[in-house]
Amino acid sequence: MYKFRIAPSILSADFARLGEEVTAVIEAGADLIHFDVMDNHYVPNLTFGPMVCAALKPYASVPVDVHLMVEPVDDLIRSFAKAGADIITFHPEASRHVDRSLSLIKDEGCQAGLVLNPATPVYVLENVLDKLDMVLLMSVNPGFGGQSFIPQTLVKIRQVRDLLDIYAGESGRRVALEVDGGIKVDNIAAAAEAGADTFVAGSAIFGKPDYRAVIDEMKRELAAVMV
């Protein structure tokens, strides 16, 4: 059984207090900090740049998980790697040469991953598994926080888990499977049962007064899946 990880998305945090919010959510039990980068081009919103990542890095005692919703990606891969990203994921539609972009992430010393939108087929992973440390499945359409989980994602999680398990058996390498969008206490167990091991949660955590209580409840739901 893989270790489950909770990755709060600071897209739903208080932007006026981002450093404090990062500290608070890590103290509450976060395993990663999810950093959503939107460019008002690939997606219809504009969020954080590398300077914000660099400013928050001293507050992050856990890995910084940068999700690039940008096009093109290569220049920002370099910038976010220098800004302190530990994991960088991007959408294959946003790169002309996916293998090259993944290699660039690895060359910068970061873990690399691909992000699949709800309508992106699973087969895009097949020829680059050797360069992947993570696959991120969007369970909403990217661009905005606070959306509802798309139930069909559970089928896709199972498909990707099967692919990654076969690859792990052949290579001895484990690739993490992250899910992002509408994750909350009452559906996190279903996503875990389908095969996800890393869970991005934004408003489900930052929208509540007690971060620790929410994360503890999520981890209790996940612990029941592990039994």
Active site residue 14: no
Max CA-CA distance within the chain? 47
Looking at 31, 39, 86, 180, which residue is catalytic?
180
CA gap 123, 178 in Å, rounded: 17
The pair of structure tokens assigned to 180 is 């992002």
Reference 181, options 156, 216, 217, 211; nearest CA is 156
- Pseudo-torsion of CA 178, 132, 34, 154, nearest 10°? -20
Residue 22 neighbours by CB distance under 10 Å? 24
The answer to whether 196 touches 157, Cβ cutoff 8 Å, is: yes
The pair of structure tokens assigned to 117 is 């939108």
The answer to whether 24 touches 211, Cβ cutoff 8 Å, is: yes
Active site residue 75: no
Residue 40 neighbours by CB distance under 10 Å? 12
CA gap 64, 100 in Å, rounded: 22
Looking at 36, 39, 86, 133, which residue is catalytic?
36
CA gap 98, 93 in Å, rounded: 9
Ranges assigned E (strand) in 74-175: 87-90, 111-116, 134-138
- Among all residues, which ones are annotated catalytic? 36, 180
